[in-house]
Structure 1
């Protein structure tokens, strides 16, 4: 007797605060959830010194009367629950009634609230009520938390720099904005606005503010449901990925959560499209009956328990896989358009001495030749003027204009001088043969002498006429083929770069194809199709393979074989800790059999199940890699065309089995910008 003490209320609140209020970010999360439960349409968060000095949160919600304003700071006092059954049907963000008393026990809190009828101010200093009195304040609630953990040094010393603490606050506010795009959020730090949303209900607009315009433009809308769950939100194209999994945001009925199994379903759906150790960007809203989820797991409310969790995992996987398959795009080359190029201005020559008209014209021509090309009129000469028997070698000067030589009638041709004037040359009609692009055609130009009577005219002609190389262009007929995936553009091979990449042109611009990855994708789908068709031929092994394992695994050999026999693999117990395999499927000839079998047994021991599809995918990927074109191999034009044709036969031609892109695109608009033609 006498060893057990009943803790007083203040000490109990401080202990509870250790779970609810770990750092300033936890306070912001709890208070913003209260604002959402109060049906606020605008929430303003003001942070000073990373929240260590002060946190102020203002909303325009329902507010409270004087009695509720004081009662809210007592333990387990909440407006969200009334009876036991309400605990299993929670539709609000908060429900425990622990946040406010826990916060007030470790800080100096000032609350002002107005419910439309009366206004109240409540001040509590480290768990002690200072005052509760009427005040003047707008409708809604304002709560200010100052000097956090000043009287709990054990917790205060574990806080990090203000910049780090504010980064956590900023992250959680952005997550709130993504889950509630219909609420306007304003976040400021030390008097400077850092983040703001309009609250117009547009999730895409919030995505653009957080992740940037290009990322938001790549967003793919989700729409999936079954009898119990409904999914919406957005996922980004695989080319927009991150090095950590913290950009996969999951919300259940508007509540931000952390759940490993649901995140894994997202990663599994992205696995064919992402390289190893890269993670997608996704904002996924899960809607369900509140009775299917238990949020009363931890005071911080990040963790949950789900009924029919496997069913939800499958729905997430299928919804994302279908969305990616239907809306996948060729990755685009990212060009930094913000970098301003230095503009070079040409100096114009100035002369001050007296000169005659002929000298003035000469100086004018010199100055014109140094001006920026953007200031000159564009002159386009398409064809070379042929040498003909010109009866009248007189040039007639006409109005100054830009001339398109191809638009002239056959009876006359134009000689365009650099001074911008056009001159007519009378000549005999010239016949022109037009050959279609589908036919084989030869373009030849023959340069002959022209003998105008005026020697000055002759010099001017040869000075400004275009130089056309003699060339021969052949275009062969090819069968038109519609790609199996409609998102893959029609490509025409141009050439090969560094014996590793195929260069092609398409509807949107210049495409660069990784020859190894493209062939790997094609071979992967071919081999997979053969295996899934039921080819289960096995090959007896001259020397059986032995695999060391555990006594527990060997004792359950029948359970393991029940799964492995779907792949045509059978194991036998060989002693207490060893398996032996005497035959293997023919399709495993190009992989390391012993390592593959060892991995399967290890996976089974960990999860008591084996994902046949994943193991088969890994084996097929290895075989496809070994049988594909390697880097640094020179290809003929026909071989390059065949790579493109094989890619067009793929159901998913954009990524190799390991998640790397098979082709990327540099769009026309980017080329125009880089060459400053826009």
Structure 2
């Protein structure tokens, strides 16, 4: 078959297929144009999920009639002042968005420059159908109606109005997150669905567009390296979601989707969050234009970095530094169901005849005439106060609560939870989860000491044999040297067993069998997917879990206070190695609510 030129209408449809996939992609292009025009306010109205109508109004610089005509021609743009395409600093520049949308829908543009007259231009599926004056304030209004109405092959692949609306909302949320200096509003079928004001702080804008609770449960990132600047907002490890849909990456103000972000965030949270949970993260990268290619995807949703290792390293180190600086912070949002359980269980009244002070008198009722001695005994029993709990004399003065953020230990509940009194409320600590984190951080410090031998080992009096299947032994054998650095000395003992000669000294007398089996399971699940550093962190976390104070162990007051003090100076002690909180606080206001005082 000979080569032929395609007709203009087919070329336009091919271009539209690259740029306009669904209402959300058309909306993205139009809003990006508004932002590039310097808009401080963007108002969006959708009908039927954008399938029937999309309207975007802005207060940007606007266009006159001549510019409007050029804007609807292919490869015409105001965003490249010269031929240096790699130096583009705007959100869009390909010059195909508006003509591509106009080739598959009815597109109307009303625009006015400051001090000029408004003008309208309407194109219906590639054909100019109307042009003339228009009344509107300075800025631009773009209306798209009946997208793909005359392209049934494309229309039938669109999803339901609800799904298309969700995609449009995601686009607007990301663009609003990237531009906190711009006010955004979104109406769907006449209902206001989103509204954020201009001038929000970045962390407030992210919280408003994801979850309000993030405002109290986040850390701030700030890092600069080799001309690249990283900033952003990340949730505490104890504030997480079941999916990774709340992780956002912005490069030079452009929302992008990149697998680099997923891997870097997983690495940064590897030892503070369970692998099936995901943090809320919004990261903003400012990269020199020559260091990033933003034109590798027609819709500009992907980028290519010249030095991806630098970017990944910055994300991991920036997140880890921010989490370390958070210290022992943890999510302090009490479960409403837990509070409801306190309020919905009223105290059952005790029958008077069953009260101990009457039972102790030795008679079941006052029916019989008692003797004087019996009456005296009964009066004595009635006047004697019931048994009271007494505090034992302290061997040392009780510390002042205001001296310590986590307070002073007052006791232990269910041999699992430490109860402490702080200046601003009541602190409850999960002793196993807290000590698990402390042991992990000790092991890390021992591994990171320059030139050190690693974690100290404690030789077993009698080596212990751990039976495993042959595949698990084959998997562990190449890791013997790595494990030795953690104080765990193993040898292959036949085809289906490992011999344990020493264990980490800081773990004490633990369950050697359980430790080795758990390590074998972890290596089977994650070994091939993790880097060496991530694998070592995984080993340390597994060992720490086995070496921590177990629930059910009675602790002395001195041990409890020592645990609290170490938590206050240990990074990331607000969550265990699996992302669960190690402590919660009931403020004085929360306690007053429980008793109806507030």
Higher relative contact order (CA 8 A, sep 6+): 2
Indicate yes or no: 2:562 matched with 1:676: no
Note if contact 1:41-1:183 (Cα within 8 Å) is conserved in structure 2.
yes
Separation in 1, partners of 2:500, 2:395: 50
Q: What does residue range 555-570 of structure 1 map to in structure 2 within 5 Å?
A: none
Please identify, of 296-305 and 225-234, the stretch whose mean Cα deviation from structure 2 is larger.
225-234
Separation in 2, partners of 1:562, 1:466: 70
Cα displacement (A) at 1:492: 2.5
Indicate yes or no: 2:330 matched with 1:330: yes
Q: Cα–Cα, structure 1 residues 10 and 614, in superposed 2: closer, same or farther, change >3 Å?
A: same
Indicate yes or no: 2:409 matched with 1:493: yes
Instruction: Report the counterpart of residue 156 of structure 2 in structure 1.
Output: 157
Separation in 1, partners of 2:443, 2:29: 53
Note if contact 1:524-1:621 (Cα within 8 Å) is conserved in structure 2.
yes
Bigger Rg, which one: 1
Instruction: Report the counterpart of residue 281 of structure 2 in structure 1.
Output: 282
Q: Cα–Cα, structure 1 residues 195 and 280, in superposed 2: closer, same or farther, change >3 Å?
A: same
Cα displacement (A) at 1:16: 2.1
Q: Secondary structure at the match of 2:516?
A: coil
Cα displacement (A) at 1:585: 8.0
1:137-178 Cα offsets, whole Å, 9 max, x none, are 322111110011111222212222222211221222121111
Note if contact 2:207-2:215 (Cα within 8 Å) is conserved in structure 1.
yes
Q: Secondary structure at the match of 1:246?
A: coil
Note if contact 1:273-1:661 (Cα within 8 Å) is conserved in structure 2.
no
Q: Cα–Cα, structure 1 residues 646 and 183, in superposed 2: closer, same or farther, change >3 Å?
A: closer
Note if contact 2:40-2:182 (Cα within 8 Å) is conserved in structure 1.
yes
Separation in 2, partners of 1:471, 1:594: 46
TM-score (normalised: structure 2): 0.78
Q: What does residue range 634-653 of structure 1 map to in structure 2 within 5 Å?
A: 634-635=554-555, 640-641=560-561, 643-644=563-564, 647=567, 650-653=570-573
Please identify, of 538-547 and 101-110, the stretch whose mean Cα deviation from structure 2 is larger.
538-547
How many residues end up aligned between the 2 structures? 532
Separation in 2, partners of 1:630, 1:571: 25
Note if contact 1:232-1:284 (Cα within 8 Å) is conserved in structure 2.
yes
Q: Secondary structure at the match of 1:187?
A: strand
Instruction: Report the counterpart of residue 141 of structure 1 in structure 2.
Output: 140
1:99-148 Cα offsets, whole Å, 9 max, x none, are 11111111111111112324321111111121333333322111110011
Q: What does residue range 104-503 of structure 1 map to in structure 2 within 5 Å?
A: 104-116=102-114, 117-328=116-327, 329-334=329-334, 336=336, 472-478=390-396, 489-503=405-419
Separation in 2, partners of 1:482, 1:473: 17
Q: Secondary structure at the match of 2:249?
A: strand
Note if contact 1:330-1:665 (Cα within 8 Å) is conserved in structure 2.
no
Cα displacement (A) at 1:70: 1.5
Instruction: Report the counterpart of residue 520 of structure 2 in structure 1.
Output: 595
Match of 2:549 among 629, 632, 638: 629
1:59-114 Cα offsets, whole Å, 9 max, x none, are 111111212212212222211125442x1111000111111111111111111111
Please identify, of 40-49 and 268-277, the stretch whose mean Cα deviation from structure 2 is larger.
268-277
Separation in 1, partners of 2:526, 2:43: 54
Cα displacement (A) at 1:600: 10
Separation in 1, partners of 2:518, 2:502: 10
Cα displacement (A) at 1:244: 1.7
Note if contact 2:453-2:485 (Cα within 8 Å) is conserved in structure 1.
no
Indicate yes or no: 2:435 matched with 1:519: yes
List alignment gaps of at least 5 residues for structure 2.
342-382, 506-511
Match of 2:585 among 658, 665, 676: 665
Q: Cα–Cα, structure 1 residues 83 and 639, in superposed 2: closer, same or farther, change >3 Å?
A: closer
1:653-674 Cα offsets, whole Å, 9 max, x none, are 2222233221111221111223
| RMSD between superposed Cα atoms in Å | 4.1
Separation in 1, partners of 2:521, 2:403: 35
Note if contact 1:330-1:488 (Cα within 8 Å) is conserved in structure 2.
no
Separation in 2, partners of 1:305, 1:647: 42
Please identify, of 50-59 and 16-25, the stretch whose mean Cα deviation from structure 2 is larger.
16-25
Instruction: Report the counterpart of residue 535 of structure 2 in structure 1.
Output: 615
Please identify, of 235-244 and 585-594, the stretch whose mean Cα deviation from structure 2 is larger.
585-594
Separation in 1, partners of 2:432, 2:466: 34
Please identify, of 302-311 and 645-654, the stretch whose mean Cα deviation from structure 2 is larger.
645-654
Q: Cα–Cα, structure 1 residues 615 and 481, in superposed 2: closer, same or farther, change >3 Å?
A: farther
Q: Cα–Cα, structure 1 residues 252 and 482, in superposed 2: closer, same or farther, change >3 Å?
A: farther
